[in-house]
């Protein structure tokens, strides 16, 4: 079975062909980052227009690279995401489904981030998935494809959102994650001790207090009132050394929190396999920490290659392969696009 996967939930236009037996045959990703950079964040209207412009050539290229004329099914991201962007992917998928006379199947983006791990190696169930992206920080027990139990999620900012907001405060640019990751490499992670928001007794996350602590730190350094709002720092105010130290210390607090809570959950539910997915799983310190701690506890950890951490069509096709081969009759209740699509069991 060959599935064409279409991903247009946010700021990447992507199409990929995945073969059930041979894996990824093609995975074309066009990033809209340069388009949104001047606004320091994704502008929904610009995103949907850009998806509309690129979707046909991206799909054409994916099929050409995979050497196929038509797939056996078309999958697209149903949600969560930006409504206008999601609709572009759905319309493309449904149009092609009619032309090719093949099944069309809507996929939850977050399930995609979990199953991206499977495109590069075997994963064993039950597993614990940490999904860390621009919009989500979810800790999910995965018993098998389609059977989940959400243990916790963020109560405010998602991990990626926190990276992006902190980068904005420091005047570093967009998206913040990769920039902070790079600058942190030359900083001292122990120079500032930011709070670790563990929220003991729950598996929920909360990162907005950490962002405020960073803001207070900068205000103190600039001798401003503690609660003074900083829109965006002009570069010369802090030295490059200070900025690197702030980035390294902030990153340490985020990564320690994510790893600590994930390992706690793994211990509680006696899980031996962890999967980390979503854009923030590309973070070098987070990867290093997970590898080290999981090795110590003899837990297998699956971290995708960088191209499969961020949004891509291959992960959408991979979930579709599971859904199409599952015996669950209720698997495709609706293909309706939903910006707040909940994480649901298939039956
Ligand atoms: O999964 P993704 O591509 O899109 C969403 O579904 O949101 O994740 C994008 C997020 C952004 O917030 C970006 O700053 C973050 O992932 N990100 C990173 C890194 N690369 C991307 N965060 C930390 N370190 C990175 N290296
Ligand atoms: Zn994503």
3-state DSSP call for residue 6? strand
Rg (C-alpha) for the chain, rounded Å, is 20
- Cis omega (within 30 of 0) for bond into 175: yes
Distance 278 CA to ligand 1 centre (A): 7
Q: Which two tokens stand for residue 198?
A: 């563990």
Residue 297 sits at φ, ψ, to 5 deg, of -100, 10
> How far is Cα 156 from Cα 334, in angstroms, rounded to an integer?
29
> How far is Cα 252 from Cα 258, in angstroms, rounded to an integer?
10
| Contact residues of ligand 1, CB 6 A cut-off | 10, 133-135, 160, 163-164, 175-178, 181, 278-280, 282-283, 310-311
- CA distances to 225, 228, 241, 292 from 208, rounded to whole Å, are 19, 16, 25, 27
Distance 136 CA to ligand 2 centre (A): 8
Residue 222 confidence (pLDDT)? 85
Residue 129 sits at φ, ψ, to 5 deg, of -110, 130
For ligand 1, atom 16, which residue shows the shortest CA distance?
279
| 27: β partners | 16
Residue 332 confidence (pLDDT)? 52
The answer to whether 346 and 146 are in contact (CB under 8 A) is yes
142 HSE (CA, 13 A, CB side): 26
Pocket test for ligand 1, best of 133, 180, 210, 288 (most atoms within 8 A of CB): 133
Residue 331 confidence (pLDDT)? 52
For the chain, list the domains and their CATH numbers: 2-116+308-325 (3.30.420.40), 127-303 (3.30.420.40)
Quote the DSSP letter at residue 108: E
The answer to whether 15 and 74 are in contact (CB under 8 A) is no
> How far is Cα 301 from Cα 315, in angstroms, rounded to an integer?
18
Residue 330 confidence (pLDDT)? 56
> How far is Cα 284 from Cα 292, in angstroms, rounded to an integer?
12
- Sign, CA dihedral 176-177-182-188, equals positive
Residue 226 confidence (pLDDT)? 82
For ligand 1, atom 14, which residue shows the shortest CA distance?
177
Quote the DSSP letter at residue 154: B
Pocket test for ligand 1, best of 7, 248, 280 (most atoms within 8 A of CB): 280
Residue 223 confidence (pLDDT)? 85
Per-10-residue mean pLDDT for the chain, 347 residues long?
Answer: 98 98 98 94 97 98 98 98 98 98 97 98 97 97 98 97 94 94 98 94 96 93 81 75 97 98 98 98 98 97 97 98 83 81 92
Question: Which residues are within 8 A (CB) of 23 and not within 5 positions of it... i.e. 6 or more apart?
Answer: 119
Residue 283 confidence (pLDDT)? 98
Interstrand relation of 12-19 and 137-144 (parallel, antiparallel or unpaired): unpaired
Q: Closest by alpha carbon to 126, among 111, 110, 141?
A: 141
Q: Find the DSSP H helices in the chain.
A: 33-36, 44-66, 83-100, 109-115, 159-169, 176-184, 208-221, 240-268, 284-296, 306-309, 313-325
Length of the chain in residues, anyone? Answer: 347
Q: Which two tokens stand for residue 200?
A: 């003991």
Q: Which two tokens stand for residue 244?
A: 């690197």
Q: Closest by alpha carbon to 286, among 315, 257, 311?
A: 257
Residue 58 confidence (pLDDT)? 98
């Amino acid at each position: 079975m060959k599935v064409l996967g279409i991903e247009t939930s946010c700021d990447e236009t992507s199409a990929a062909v995945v073969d059930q037996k041979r894996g990824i045959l093609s995975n074309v990703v066009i990033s809209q980052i340069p388009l949104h950079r001047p606004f320091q964040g994704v502008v929904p209207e610009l995103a949907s227009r850009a998806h509309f412009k690129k979707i046909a050539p991206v799909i054409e290229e994916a099929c050409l690279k995979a050497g196929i004329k038509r797939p056996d099914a078309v999958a697209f991201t149903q949600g969560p995401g930006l409504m206008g962007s999601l609709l572009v992917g759905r319309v493309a998928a449904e149009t092609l489904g009619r032309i090719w006379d093949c099944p069309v199947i809507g996929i939850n983006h977050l399930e995609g981030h979990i199953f991206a791990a499977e495109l590069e190696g075997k994963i064993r169930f039950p597993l614990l998935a940490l999904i860390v992206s621009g919009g989500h920080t979810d800790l999910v027990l995965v018993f098998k494809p389609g059977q989940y139990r959400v243990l916790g999620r963020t109560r405010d900012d998602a991990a990626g959102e926190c990276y992006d907001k902190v980068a904005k405060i420091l005047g570093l640019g967009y998206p913040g994650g990769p920039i902070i990751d790079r600058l942190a490499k030359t900083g001292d992670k122990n120079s500032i001790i930011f709070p670790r928001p563990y929220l003991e007794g729950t598996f929920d996350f909360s990162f907005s207090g950490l962002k405020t602590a960073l803001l207070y730190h900068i205000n103190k350094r600039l001798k401003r009132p503690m609660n003074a709002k900083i829109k965006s720092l002009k570069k010369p105010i802090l030295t490059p050394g200070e900025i690197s130290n702030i980035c390294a210390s902030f990153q340490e607090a985020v990564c320690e929190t994510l790893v600590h809570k994930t390992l706690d959950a793994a211990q509680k539910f006696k899980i031996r396999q962890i999967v980390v997915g979503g854009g923030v799983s590309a973070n070098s310190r987070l990867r290093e920490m997970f590898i080290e701690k999981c090795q110590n506890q003899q837990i297998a950890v699956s971290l995708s290659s960088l191209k499969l951490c961020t949004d891509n069509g291959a992960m959408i096709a991979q979930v579709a392969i599971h859904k199409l081969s599952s015996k669950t009759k209720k698997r495709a209740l609706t293909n309706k696009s939903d910006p707040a699509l909940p994480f649901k069991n298939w039956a």
